[in-house]
Amino acid sequence: MNALTFTLKKPLQFSLNCQLLNPTHLADKSSSDIASMLLNYGNSQCRVDDIFEIFGIDAQNICFKNSSDKLDYLGANMASGKMVIEGDAGAYLAYQLKKGEIHCKGNSLAYAACNMINGLLTIDGNTGDFLGGASAGLRKGMRGGTVIVKGNAGDRAGDQMRRGLILIEGNTGDYCASRMIAGTIGVLGKVGEYACFNMKRGTLLLTTRPKLHATIQDCGCHTLPFLNLMFKSFTQFKTKFSSIKTQRVQRFVGDAACAGNGEILLILPAE
Amino acid sequence: MLINGVQIDDTFAEAFNMRGTRIIITAQNLKWAYHAANAMTGFATSVIGCGVEAGIERELSFEETPDGRPGLSILMFAMGSKVLMQQLETRMGQCILTCPTAAAFAGIESEDRINLGKNLRFFGDGYQTSKLFANANGMAKRYWRIPVMDGEFLCEETTGMVRAIGGGNFLILAKSQIAALAAAEAAIQAMKLIPNVIMPFPGGVVRSGSKVGSKYKTMFASTNDAFCPTLKGVTNTELSPEIESVMEIVIDGLNFEDIAKSMRVGIQAICDLGEVSGVKRISAGNYGGKLGPHHFKLHEIMGTQA
């Protein structure tokens, strides 16, 4: 069956809320039902077929073509199937994703994987602030699943993250893993200032030592066998992280300012 | 039935339902994996006095273990799930947690789970850390990292618990103690190659087979006098005049087929030694078929092809 494909007809002036266009919501809907659905566009509503060319019938495989950063909430609340975004995505990409896979071939704006529960999100480009964070008013961010970012991430990546895995192959902005509750974040590039600010638990895996604030404490260099298990678990994803073999790390613990027991594991060359 | 001059009695071994589990122990090298595994399976010969019956199933190469280090798989059996869980936690805490460089992982998957590191983590006094990793099948498993003086103790949260069978057995009747033990050693060597089974007694061999009951009220099992060579003249003996020593091999396993297979290779190894080895008969222990639901009939077992 052909993937259900939404091709953006023309550049958008305002943000379009796309949360209804996911496999879970579109299952069992006819082409005409989908075409006539109303989406929030700026402060008004418009029909799906006013904005997208619609092609294909397989609602478990959805493809967005010619997409732009005006498309917010792509894959939001998705609980099954696959979504491919051939282009950029707006804010709240994979918001509260429950199950399934989303592959964004471009960049995304802030709050990608926000409140994510499970599933897999891959972003080939860069992403904005609050990757895997919590939406406004919530005290817990991402609660499970895996996020892979091939490019860079903005500030506050993993803010209040509760569980799950975020792998960033590029750099991150400031306050990476801030207020992190648990889970694992890996960064192959550079990390901005105030990494692990108010971190409670969880792991930030790094390859380059960032400038750390005073309440992150050095616990020395160690060989940790669990890393072998962790790197082995990365091999199921197409990411540079799966090529890491060493179990030798320098361990920093913090944030002592909030009696935190989180850790930064700085990967060292094998002995 | 006569195989290579050794008589196989027309009898059967009577075995019981048990609950079993498998644990994978890894360490920096096999030497330390053995230290951990030997401690954990020590004093685990019989449920009568030890709570569990346990043994080392086999060595594992680094490709076969979750953390890529050399390791051993251990099988542990008990009469019920509660005892099994209790014994496993105690032995994990005293034998694996304490052993330098050792780590423990689930060795069997099932819906029934019992604790491996779930409660042991509290030894970490708040510094323990959990990690959830997905395996190749996408199934997430929780592991505990407990800070200890040699670094970190890594342990999976739970392991599987399955229905199992305990008490498969056969008896080696020989002209001398030396001959009986040599035959038993040959059998154990062959049986150790069979997966999913253990022979929980010292060296895999029992010299004190028991019968149910005793003349003493406090004892619920006592020496199997019918097979004691020094009592031939005073008891209802099962032994002919030339038998001077009897050894028993007890087998616990995860399924009937593997226990039967291990019995077959064990008995065959003894028969291969021939009559000249001093072994006269192979028999088996049972309770008349009234207590255990699993009957391993020697003639059927030795009649089937390996």
Q: Are residues B77 and B184 in the same domain?
A: no
Q: Could you tell me the residue range of the domain that residue B91 belongs to?
A: 18-162
Q: What pLDDT is recorded for position A153?
A: 98
* Mean pLDDT, chain B, integer: 94
Q: Are residues B127 and B60 in the same domain?
A: yes
Q: What pLDDT is recorded for position B238?
A: 94
| Number of helices (H), then strands (E), in chain B | 6, 18
Domain termination site, one of B162, B184, B205: B162
Q: Which of B130, B133, B151 faces A230 most closely, judged by CB atoms? A: B133
Q: How close B30 comes to chain A (CA, Å)?
A: 15
Q: Which of B127, B130, B143 faces A229 most closely, judged by CB atoms? A: B143
Residue A67 domain flag: no
Q: What is the pLDDT of residues B113-138, one digit of tens each?
A: 999 999 999 999 999 999 998 876 77
Provide the CATH number for the domain around residue B152: 3.30.70.520
Q: Cβ(B11)–Cβ(B299) under 8 Å?
A: no
Residue A143 domain flag: yes
Q: What is the mean pLDDT of residues B28-33?
A: 97
Residue A166 domain flag: yes
Whether B306 shows a pLDDT value over 70: the answer reads: no
Domain termination site, one of B102, B134, B162: B162
Q: What DSSP string runs through A156-209?
A: TTTTT--SSEEEESS-B-SSTTTT--S-EEEESS-B-SSTTTT--S-EEEESSP
Interface A-B, measured as beta-carbon pairs within 8 A, has a size of: 50
Contact at CB, A226 and B151, closer than 8 angstroms: no
Q: What pLDDT is recorded for position A271?
A: 66
Could you tell me which residues come within 8 angstroms of residue B87 by beta carbon, excluding any fewer than 6 positions away?
B44, B51, B52, B76, B78
Q: Cβ(B158)–Cβ(B106) under 8 Å?
A: yes
A113-127, B29-43, B285-299: least confident range = B285-299
B304: confidence class by pLDDT, cuts 50, 70, 90:
low
Query: If you measure CA to CA, which chain A residue comes closest to B126?
Result: A261
Closest CA to A85 of A42, A29, A46, A127: A127
Whole-number Cα distances in Å, A89 to A86, A135, B24: 9, 17, 45
Q: Are residues B26 and B158 in the same domain?
A: yes
Q: Could you tell me the residue range of the domain that residue A180 belongs to?
A: 110-267
Q: How close B277 comes to chain A (CA, Å)?
A: 49
Contact at CB, A225 and B103, closer than 8 angstroms: yes
Taking the C-alpha atoms of residue B213 and residue B192, their distance in angstroms, rounded to an integer, is 32
Contact at CB, A163 and B132, closer than 8 angstroms: yes
Helix (H, G, I), strand (E, B) or coil at B181: helix
Q: Which of B129, B135, B152 faces A233 most closely, judged by CB atoms? A: B135
Residue A60 domain flag: no
Q: What DSSP string runs through A214-270?
A: TTSEEEEEEE-THHHHHHHHHTTS-SGGGG----EEEEEEE-GGGT--EEEEEE---
Chain A environment of B152 (Cβ under 8 Å): 222, 224-226
Q: What pLDDT is recorded for position B212?
A: 85
Q: Are residues B123 and B46 in the same domain?
A: yes
Q: Which of A182, A228, A263 faces B67 most closely, judged by CB atoms? A: A228
Side-chain half-sphere CA neighbours of B267 within 13 A: 37
Residue A114 domain flag: yes
Q: Which of B66, B127, B138 faces A229 most closely, judged by CB atoms? A: B66
Q: What is the pLDDT of residues B175-225, one digit of tens each?
A: 999 999 999 999 999 999 999 999 999 999 999 998 888 999 998 889 999
Percentage of chain B modeled with pLDDT above 90: 89
Chain A environment of B131 (Cβ under 8 Å): 184, 203, 226, 229-230
Chain B environment of A228 (Cβ under 8 Å): 67-69
Length, in residues, of chain B = 306
Q: Cβ(A255)–Cβ(A216) under 8 Å?
A: yes
Q: Are residues B51 and B9 in the same domain?
A: no
Residue A53 domain flag: no
Q: What is the mean pLDDT of residues B227-249?
A: 95
Q: Which of B126, B136, B154 faces A226 most closely, judged by CB atoms? A: B154
Q: What pLDDT is recorded for position B190?
A: 97
Domain count, chain B: 2
Chain A environment of B154 (Cβ under 8 Å): 225-226, 229
Chain B environment of A119 (Cβ under 8 Å): none
Residue A237 domain flag: yes
Q: Are residues B28 and B156 in the same domain?
A: yes
Please list the rounded mean pLDDT of every run of 10 residues in chain A (271 residues).
91 95 91 94 94 93 96 96 96 96 97 96 97 93 96 97 96 97 97 96 96 95 92 90 91 95 92 66
B286: confidence class by pLDDT, cuts 50, 70, 90:
confident
Chain A environment of B138 (Cβ under 8 Å): 236
Query: If you measure CA to CA, which chain A residue comes closest to B138?
Result: A236
Domain count, chain A: 1
Chain A environment of B137 (Cβ under 8 Å): none
Side-chain half-sphere CA neighbours of B286 within 13 A: 19
Q: What pLDDT is recorded for position B305?
A: 46
Domain termination site, one of B135, B162, B189: B162
Residue A176 domain flag: yes
Q: Cβ(A175)–Cβ(A194) under 8 Å?
A: yes
